[in-house]
Amino acid sequence: MTEIRRIGIVGAGPMGVGIAHVAALAGYDVVVHDIDASRLARLPQSLEANLARQIKRGSLHDADARAAQKRVHTSPELRSLADRDLVIESVNEDEEIKRKLYESLKGVLKADAILATDTSSISITRLAAATDRAPRFLGMHFMNPVPMMELVEIIPGIATTPDVTATATEVARKMGKTPVAAQDFPAFMVNRILAPMINEAIYVLYEGVGTVESIDTACKLGLHHPMGPLALADFIGLDIFLSIMKVLYEGLADQKYRPCPLLIKYVEAGWLGRKSGRGFYDYSVEPPKPTR
């Protein structure tokens, strides 16, 4: 297996910050790259707040948190990734954006570097074909929020070599996660199971069978889920969730994966959930108020 000491992360959104968090706690030297300077500027504060929550819960010592913070660096320049052993891409769930990034990384990454994507649904084999290193490319699908969720799906593409898969698996373990192998099919395992359930909850709302509040309450109490499916969709981001449903619908050609028209309308309206302040709930008030 390749020895991983230095990790690069592309994307300073919530997932990128979360991956940086667990990588730094695991002892890796971390560089986070993003073209958005404001995201990079906010990263240290976000990281500190996340670590502080762990300290408050008693799951982390203050000295370990300070050491982890010192291991995380930010850079607006792609060339900052040139010495990284593993680079994890965590940009928007948009295949064209990812492909453009991979094109930009050609000639930047060292020859033996592993490139991983945190995509939640897009074909690993197809993404690998846009890189200059298909044998050293794979999926590492972290769950959100990364510091709290134990699972990482490890998804090799058709060209991924076994040693690269083994290396990524060991990195996930060192980060304190439980790696689970998944095959390269649309949405992999977790989202292939979860997304249709959330989509069906949106259909139940769309058809007037229940309200936002009654659907989420029923699922929390009746299924013992910690969060209702509509609140969860808002947490994920309705635009991201719609992209997952489109991958399932187009990739598997099955009507059961057809995105609910109400979901499409919400995304068209810019009602994307928590990040936009409005989705199935209105987050401008506390507690959030159902919008239907």
Positions annotated as catalytic residues are 120, 141, 153, 191
Taking Cα atoms as reference points, which of 148, 170, 181, 179 lies closest to residue 85?
Answer: 170
Between CA 258 and CA 250 the distance in angstroms is 9
Between CA 236 and CA 244 the distance in angstroms is 11
290 φ/ψ angles, rounded to the nearest 5 degrees = -55, 140
Helix, strand or coil for residue 27? coil
Between CA 53 and CA 63 the distance in angstroms is 14
Task: For residue 125, give the amino acid letter.
Answer: T
Q: Are 188 and 155 in contact (CB under 8 A)?
A: yes
Q: Are 63 and 91 in contact (CB under 8 A)?
A: no
Taking Cα atoms as reference points, which of 162, 169, 155 lies closest to residue 120?
Answer: 155
The 10 Å Cβ neighbour count of residue 145 is: 15
**Measured between alpha carbons, how far is residue 43 from residues 74, 93, 291 in Å?**
8, 20, 31
Q: Are 120 and 143 in contact (CB under 8 A)?
A: no
Taking Cα atoms as reference points, which of 180, 177, 175 lies closest to residue 21?
Answer: 175
